Amino acid sequence: MSKPVILTGLRANNDLHIGNYLGALLPTVDMAVRRAGDYQVNLFVPDLHSFTTPIDHSKLQAQILHNIKVFVAAGLPIDHDDVHVYRQSYVPAHSELTWILDCFTGFGEMSRMTQFKDKSAKLSDERVSVGLFNYPVLMAADILLYNASYVPVGDDQTQHLEFTRDIAERMNNQFGELFTIPLPVPKQHEFFGKDQGLRIRDLTDPAKKMSKSDETGRGVIFLSDTPEAARKKIMSATTDSYGEIKYDMRERPGITNLLQLLGLLSGQTQADVNAKWEGKTSYGDLKKAVADAVTNFLTVFQSKLAAVDEQAVLNKLTRSEAVANGTANQTLLRAQKAVGLRA
């Protein structure tokens, strides 16, 4: 790979919602469109990561293909030679390098990972897997196999990138220049931009971000929702008792969330949306405008998704996985030789 490598993951499972679309999916697609050509863009599907917590395994394959098609419908340029889309498990070097890195990783390092603490606290002891405990090591392998310098990270992943840098430096110090060390978090933010998408709020509880963990589903607009169902959710959204529309996420998160959705889905700037609506007193009119924007978005997007050529996606996966295996196996061989597993 002669070009600098950008690497990021595409969601493997779970039903994607409009918060995922606006906050993570669109920025990823935009990054690939803008950066491909000057950079090699590796977009991998973390299917090995997908069951570090319990899932329905019978649905995993269908979810993987569906979610890749969602990215394509959103504009991911899979016909570009510098954009590679591949499934993690189709490149065995990910698992093999993880074991090598595991043996140079301390138990204490993994114990300090905030994501593990947060996720394991929600599970019973017997459901907390070793995979959940050490998946930052697999994430390090995901990055180091491809000599990636650029990895977009949110606040919840900064520890994992820091660990990736630590384990790469540790191995390089002991065995020579095995791995390219990705840039530190501040440099990543400088390259990608600190704000890589807004956090869309739950419609019924705007104090928290929109999440599939909402058991009722009333506060979440899924990309698979019918336009009619989405409209009902918007019209039932929690607002406030002030009686006047104002953009203020701290004091009025419900109204502000609706204003943000309207701006993002109508193609208007936030300033223009705010100028039109602030000071008005009819929350119902605002909700209707947002509901119209959401239903129009879903109607168009679902039509694009239905038109995605599944065979073209599968062909792209096959081509990308051949390229990924070639690069990953070279890196793995260097590591195997260094630790004495190959002559």
Residues labelled as active-site residues: 119, 209, 212
What single-letter amino acid sits at 45?
V
**34, 28 contact by CB (below 8 A):** no
Using only C-alpha atoms, the chain has a radius of gyration, in whole angstroms, of: 22
| Those residues with Cβ within 8 angstroms of residue 300's Cβ, 6 or more apart along the chain or in another chain | none
- Coil, strand, or helix at residue 275? helix
Long-range residue pairs from 166-173, CB within 8 A, at least 24 positions apart, any chain: 166/109, 167/101, 167/104, 167/105, 167/137, 167/140, 168/140, 168/144, 170/104, 171/101, 171/104, 171/335, 171/338
Phi, psi values for residue 277, rounded to 5°:
-105, -30
d(CA 285, CA 244): 12
